[in-house]
């Protein structure tokens, strides 16, 4: 069944049920209202022709999510934009993807202006609410009330999402996720979380992770309570007040909830799935979360190239690991292969390794991408043959099939769920007159998973304060990519003078069971 057909079935079954509601209770949208909005958006987008690429720049907003659905309904490809990214980064992504139209939240008009100014040719833009004077407003631009847009051709390989990513040098690439990938993700998540009319909190971006997790909820007739970012106190109150059954947060946000003074004062009895992913989670903090929220923690593992649910560590797996000391180590795993993926550990020659042996984690699944947009060589680099796709992550599996991620092939830092490419930070640091050489690595951090850390060799006779270098990076790249710490020391080098970054990382990860 095509993705849109499955969603249409859900919209018919649940037409009068609440689909989205704002956390403050000021506004709700039924399935019927979201369905109609998506048809009105799709009918106007049809003029762009099949395969058009349409971006959405918005904070968490049900109307913006309806625009995402309208993009898919029109047979176009959705390009997610992260409002936390710098305008130049978003402009680079839109240039790479060849954006045909941009929807933006009216309150982000200034940001949209900066993004569009960075493009070789400015595409049409539509404001959700009052935006730039020259842009049409969504309510006037979209098709008339009651219009119905015919479904797109049933092409499983047609692009559904085109997501920004990057290589080890930070060069922008774009992952093309076909419709079968998004549908498989929705079915897989729904199968692992069987609920009748669940209620979820969306505090993570609906343009990205929370949006992907909303697709299975739509199939199940559930309600999404929309929060504007992670406010720990507001989320804890919402779980109790709104009788929430599931939510997703990256580990750093979960740590903030655990540290909140009222965390033990609320009723969490309705929770069935507290999802975490996007970055490793401290086992000690995980145990604390299980003690406070109950046996509801659930982890998924995926990546942009094979999204969300390649593996699954469900509530039952967590409970078993807590109850049986012999299985406690499973709390450090990312689970077993999900119902919609196969997982293997491969050696450098692409041969399958037995349990306990460490190699590259590879997946064979309908979740996989079509490839990197206009980058066949990059796509071929992760093709392991016979349908297997390399993840770039290093790990092993135990005798029971639980997968453990221990390192990363790619020179990438994941800090608080965000990707940071060291070369971007190194380029900024190299520009300072006191810096002779540097290497940027991720080091263990209880809050961030990995903390961006700059190891700097100063030029002979030069000096600079740590705060100055951190400020330089923050001004150029933003707070996420700026180092949390600068270490002044000599860098380890090979006989020919190459910086041995792997050896450097090993120093700071010594004694850890995982290097990620």
Domains of the chain (ranges; CATH) run: 413-508 (3.30.300.30)
The per-residue pLDDT of the chain, averaged, comes to 93
- Please give the pLDDT value at position 213: 96
What b/e readout covers 395-411, taking b as 16+ CB neighbours within 10 angstroms? Answer: bbbeeeebbbbbbbeeb
Q: Is 457 exposed, middle or buried (0-12, 13-18, 19+ CB in 10 A)?
A: middle
Q: Which residues contact 379 (CB under 8 A, 6 or more apart)?
A: 371, 372
* In contact, 108 and 57? CB cutoff 8 Å: yes
pLDDT in tens, 332-363: 999 999 999 999 999 999 999 999 999 999 99
Q: What is the pLDDT of residues 150-163, one digit of tens each?
A: 999 889 999 999 99
Q: Which whole number is the average pLDDT over 26-32?
A: 98
For residue 423, what pLDDT is reported?
80
Q: Report residue 300 as tokens.
A: 């998924």
Note the pLDDT of residue 169: 39
Phi/psi for 47 (5° steps) reads: -65, -20
Q: pLDDT, tens digit, for every residue of 228-282?
A: 999 999 999 999 999 999 999 988 889 889 989 999 999 999 999 999 997 778 8
- Mean pLDDT across 416-432: 86
| 468: pLDDT strictly greater than 80 | yes
- pLDDT of 516 reads 67
Q: What is the pLDDT of residue 170?
A: 46
Average pLDDT over residues 42-62: 95
Mean pLDDT of 29-51: 96
User: Average of pLDDT values for 443-457?
Assistant: 91
Whether 173 shows a pLDDT value over 90: the answer reads no
Say which DSSP state 140 is in: H
Greatest distance between any 2 Cα atoms in the chain: 73
Neighbouring-strand partners of residue 275: 248, 298
What percentage of residues in the chain have a pLDDT greater than 70?
Answer: 97
pLDDT category, 168, cuts 50, 70, 90? Answer: very low
**pLDDT score of 10 more than 90:** yes
Tell me what pLDDT residue 496 has. Answer: 58
Residue 167 confidence (pLDDT) above 50: no
pTM of the model: 0.86
In the predicted model, what is the mean pLDDT of residues 408-431?
A: 84
Report the SS3 class of residue 59. Answer: coil
What mean pLDDT do residues 410-434 have? 85
Give pLDDT, residue 499.
83
Q: How many CA atoms lie within 13 A of 381 on its CB side?
A: 12
Place of tokens 């249409």: 8
Task: Collect all residues with Cβ–Cβ distance below 8 Å to 464 and sequence separation of at least 6.
Answer: 432, 434, 435, 458
């Amino acid at each position: 069944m095509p993705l849109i057909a499955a969603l249409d079935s859900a919209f018919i079954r649940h037409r009068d049920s609440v689909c989205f509601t704002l956390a403050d209770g000021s506004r709700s949208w039924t399935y019927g209202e979201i369905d109609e909005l998506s048809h009105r958006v799709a009918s106007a987008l049809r003029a762009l022709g099949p395969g058009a690429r349409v971006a959405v720049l918005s904070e968490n907003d049900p109307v913006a999510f309806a625009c995402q659905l309208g993009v898919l309904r029109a047979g176009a490809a959705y390009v997610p934009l992260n409002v936390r990214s710098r305008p130049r980064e978003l402009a680079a992504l839109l240039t790479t993807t060849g954006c045909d139209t941009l929807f933006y939240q009216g309150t982000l008009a200034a940001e949209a202006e900066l993004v569009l100014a960075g493009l070789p040719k400015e595409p049409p833009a539509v404001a959700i609410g009052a935006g730039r004077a020259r842009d049409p407003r969504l309510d006037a631009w979209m098709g008339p009330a009651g219009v119905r847009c015919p479904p797109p051709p049933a092409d499983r390989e047609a692009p559904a999402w085109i997501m920004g990513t990057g290589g080890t040098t930070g060069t922008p690439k774009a992952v093309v996720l076909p419709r079968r990938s998004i549908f498989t993700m929705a079915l897989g998540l729904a199968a692992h979380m069987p609920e009748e009319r669940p209620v979820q909190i969306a505090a993570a971006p609906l343009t990205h992770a929370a949006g992907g997790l909303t697709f299975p909820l739509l199939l199940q007739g559930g309600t999404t309570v929309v929060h504007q970012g992670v406010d720990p106190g507001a989320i804890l109150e919402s779980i109790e007040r709104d009788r929430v059954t599931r939510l997703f947060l990256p580990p750093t946000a979960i740590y903030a909830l655990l540290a909140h003074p009222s965390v033990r004062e609320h009723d969490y009895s309705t929770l069935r799935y507290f999802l975490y992913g996007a970055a490793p989670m401290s086992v000690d903090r995980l145990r604390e979360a299980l003690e406070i929220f109950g046996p509801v923690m659930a982890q998924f593992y995926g990546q942009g190239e094979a999204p969300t649910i390649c593996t699954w560590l469900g509530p039952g797996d967590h409970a078993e690991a807590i109850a049986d000391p012999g299985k406690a180590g499973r709390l450090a795993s990312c689970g077993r292969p999900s119902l919609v993926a196969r997982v293997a550990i491969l050696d450098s020659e692409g041969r399958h390794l037995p349990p306990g042996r460490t190699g590259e984690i590879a997946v064979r699944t309908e979740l996989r991408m079509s490839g990197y947009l206009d980058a066949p060589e990059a796509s071929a680099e992760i093709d392991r043959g016979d349908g297997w796709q390399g993840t770039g992550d290093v790990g092993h599996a135990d005798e029971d099939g639980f997968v453990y991620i221990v390192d990363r092939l790619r020179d990438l830092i994941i800090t608080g769920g965000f990707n940071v490419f060291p070369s971007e930070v190194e380029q900024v640091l190299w520009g300072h007159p006191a810096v002779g050489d540097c290497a940027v690595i991720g080091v263990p951090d209880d809050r961030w998973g990995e903390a961006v850390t700059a190891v700097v060799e100063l030029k002979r006779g030069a000096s600079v304060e740590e705060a100055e270098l951190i400020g330089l990076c923050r001004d150029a790249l933003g707070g996420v990519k700026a180092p949390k710490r600068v270490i002044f020391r000599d860098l380890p080098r090979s006989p020919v003078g190459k910086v041995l970054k792997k050896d450097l990382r090993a120093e700071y990860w010594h004694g850890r069971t995982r290097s990620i």
